[in-house]
Amino acid sequence: MITSCAFNEVMKLVWSGGRPTLSSRPVAEEKAIALSYNGSSHAVMMATPADLSDFGVGFALTEGLVEKVDEILSIELVETDLGIEIRMWLDQKRTRFFLVRRRAILGPIGCGLCGIESLEQACPAPPQVANGTMFRARDLLNAMRGLAPLQSFNRKTRSMHAAAFWDPTIGIGPVREDVGRHNALDKLAGALARHNIACSTGAILLTSRVSVELVQKTAMIGVPVLIAISAPTTLAIETAEKAGITLIAVAREDGYEVFTHPDRLIFSENGMIAA
């Protein structure tokens, strides 16, 4: 039984107006989360101990350890004094693949490339996403506006990232949060796969900057649009261009910046595609 939660109430001393006052604050949980496959440890991440089954499945998918969720035969969460282990067992085909790639990785927050052994591994050719769906620019803006109220953990702690999926027919959902932006996206990937949600007609919403790993994971998930609050890196832009992803960033209340594949967007209010 996992007893951890996403945040805990912590006592603090507040100094304001020249006087100290004893108070409390909800603070985000951060624990060591080990991911193991068929009894072999593969990665240790510092993450928020919530939605961990989604995290395990999503990490396996976005890292290419499995191609489909049903290649994971079972998943078990085991809590220890040092952290939590996500134990996954793969089918025979993926087990052989895993053993070939097996390596020791230590992946702290903010670093998605620890343990990579070559430049080719760091910058693989991304999968191509589906190219048929058009999106209204204003709908995507409204989607980002609607994300903040759904960040239940961040409203309390003010220290968590969110990754969410938006579809023009059903709106926002699911939403996953974590102290690490990569972890939040992996949790979202797992939730989408476990609930068999079609991804090719929607967008991923992020409350972070956009580095290349987030674009690579988006391509692995198969989502054609990625929109974020903060700015992208040059390599993120180059990778989104190659993957066929519409990369939108610096999203604010009144607009955003489009860095790749703007042809997927309908900018005019009357539904016509802008030249």
The residues assigned a catalytic role are 111
Share of the chain residues as helix, strand and coil, in percent rounded to the nearest 5: 30, 35, 35
Determine the Cα–Cα distance for residues 223 and 199; give it in Å rounded to an integer: 5
Which pairing describes strands 225-228 and 255-258: parallel, antiparallel, or unpaired?
A: unpaired
User: Is 264 buried (19+), middle (13-18) or exposed (0-12) by CB count in 10 A?
Assistant: buried
The encoded tokens of residue 118 equal 């070559």
Q: Strand, coil or helix: what is 37?
A: strand
d(CA 117, CA 103): 10
Alpha carbon distance 138, 148 (integer Å) = 17
Helix (H) or strand (E) holding 223, with range, is none
- Where b means 16+ CB within 10 Å and e means fewer, 203-226 reads bbbbbbbbbbbbbbbbbbbbbbbb
Helix spans in 195-256 (H): 212-221, 234-243
Both tokens of residue 88? 């996954």
Q: 46 phi and psi, to 5 degrees?
A: -90, 120
